[in-house]
Amino acid sequence: MRTVLSTITTRKRLAACSVFLATVLLTMSGFQANRPGRAETPIQVFSISASPSEAIAHAALRPETLHSDAGQIHTIVMSNGEPFYAPQSLVIEVGEVVKWVNVEHSDTHSIHARTGQLDSPDVKAGSEWCFRFAREGEYTYTCRFHPWMRGTILVKPRNVEATPVALSPEVASAAYNLESAGGAVWLIAQKGSPLLVQVAADGVVTRHRLPARLQAGTNLCFTADQRFSFIDGATGKLSEFDLTRGSARTRTMSPAGSKLRLLAASKLGELWLFDAASGSFLSCPAASEQLTQPRAVKISSPPIKTLIDQAGKLWFIEESRKCAGFFDPRSGQFKEYLLPEMACLVALDVTPAGQAWFADAGRNKIIKIADGWVTEYTVPTAYSAPQGLTTDEQGNVWFTESLTNKIGRLKDGHFDEYRLPDSLSHPMALGRDARGNLLFTLQMSTGLGRIAAATVGALLASDQDQNDSPCSTAIDQAGSQEHRHDHDH
Ligand SMILES: [Cu+2]
């Protein structure tokens, strides 16, 4: 039985990771169909939809509706007379608190469920006990002393309002890559003629026709407002594109025999690249046409997703998706963190304080790397396959649950999960714009969803209320593990 169960588990996990890998393969196959000679194509820049009014409407509606029922404490009265637990059955939302009050004069009662962590100490006459339900599900419970006492609590997921962002069919069917940069969220659509789509914080969508296909898995590296660098998918050369002019040019000479990948741009416009042929990092200083001398490192597999933090460290996820790490160009320090075999790292973000956060779709975990320590947090909903991740200024880590259609939030080791509307299910990549709107792509590139900043603010406000509840001592916490990795190079 154990073998069968573990096989199922493995299959499900593999399925979770393959969702992402399928996307990668799709992406790569799209890139193989190179289109040389597109540099002369004139660009068209135009606006598709403007929806600032929509954001304002949300701001007016959401806080009120959410506050009325969030942070609520439900009371169940325990007594020796039927129904013993009153009300006997209760429907609540994830995150809400239930308080059991023993109104008897002498008898002790308790609350004990076979599943979950619902297991109270003895609740003496005249006292009470609280529990915050962090996971959805049906909890049937009884009393240790009086097995005829029965109660049920149905915990439903919390819903969050999200709206589709209007994209033209041409874009919607091809948008597979999402990045946050310069306060906006960008989509790279390369099915048919390649397009770069900018979704500004005010909701205005602008499409830029690209003169060339970008290299598979490329990062958008903005070196100035309206100017970004990329690796030309056809020639493999480092190029620069000017959005306002719609023109591209080759920036530097690539070293002979190199296989360059563009990794990231620093705040000062310096570009970092990786040469997969020689296994070395190299850079291109701002406004320079020269690449620096390659600096070879002993890396397990080439970096594919990268980010530069405030301190200038280059964080990355490796192609194997089992390894994360950083390279510090100034000190030359290089460090890899090897994760267990089932890991499948798919997204990363780094906070201003230098904490690196990763989504592990293979193991259903959110991972923090800070000060040499790796901390793993298991997402409460099983097999959720987190695919996208972004952090905010308040220390919240937001992530998508692609298989369970939720947006999750992790803060101070505590999870909250919110179910998306069915029309915007299977969220994948996640980004955040300058106003705090959360944007996510949908699986198989069927569209883009937005959770308005006002909605996000209301969720945070309602969770604040809960923390003030008298029951905050009895909390169903999600487990986290911390372990040190000494994998220095
Ligand atoms: Cu009892």
For domain 2-60+161-248+293-484, give its CATH number from 1.10.8.100, 2.130.10.10, 3.40.50.150, 2.160.20.10.
2.130.10.10
Tell me how far the alpha carbon of residue 28 is from its chain's centroid: 22
What pLDDT was estimated at residue 399?
A: 98
Burial of 165 (0-12, 13-18, 19+ CB in 10 A): buried
Q: Which of 124-128, 261-265, 460-464 has the lowest mean pLDDT?
A: 460-464
Give the Å distance between the CA of 126 and the centre of ligand 1: 13
Give the Å distance between the CA of 140 and the centre of ligand 1: 15
Give the Å distance between the CA of 253 and the centre of ligand 1: 79
What is the number of residues in the chain? 489
Q: What radius of gyration, in Å, describes the C-alpha atoms of the chain?
A: 25
The residue ranges of every structural domain in the chain are 2-60+161-248+293-484, 73-157
Q: Which residue has the tokens 């298989």?
A: 403
H-only helix segments in 39-162: 52-69
Reply yes or no on whether the pLDDT at 6 is more than 50.
no
Reply yes or no on whether the pLDDT at 407 is more than 70.
yes
Q: Which residues pair with 411 in a beta bridge?
A: 414
Q: How confident is the model at residue 71 (pLDDT cuts 50, 70, 90)?
A: low
Sign of dihedral through CA atoms 112, 116, 121, 125?
A: negative
CATH 2.60.40.420 fits 73-157, yes or no: yes
Q: What is the pTM of this model?
A: 0.76
Give the Å distance between the CA of 146 and the centre of ligand 1: 4
Tens-digit pLDDT profile for residues 18-54? 444 444 333 333 333 333 333 222 222 222 222 333 3
Give the Å distance between the CA of 156 and the centre of ligand 1: 26
Query: Hey, what are 307's tokens?
Result: 């980010």
Q: Which of 236-240, 342-346, 451-455 has the lowest mean pLDDT?
A: 236-240
Tens-digit pLDDT profile for residues 263-318? 888 888 888 989 888 888 988 887 777 888 888 888 888 898 899 998 889 999 99
Are both 2-60+161-248+293-484 and 73-157 of the same fold?
Answer: no
Give the Å distance between the CA of 467 and the centre of ligand 1: 29
Specify the 3-state DSSP secondary structure of 41: coil
Query: Hey, what are 486's tokens?
Result: 């000494």
Distance in angstroms (rounded) separating the CA atoms of residues 296 and 306: 17
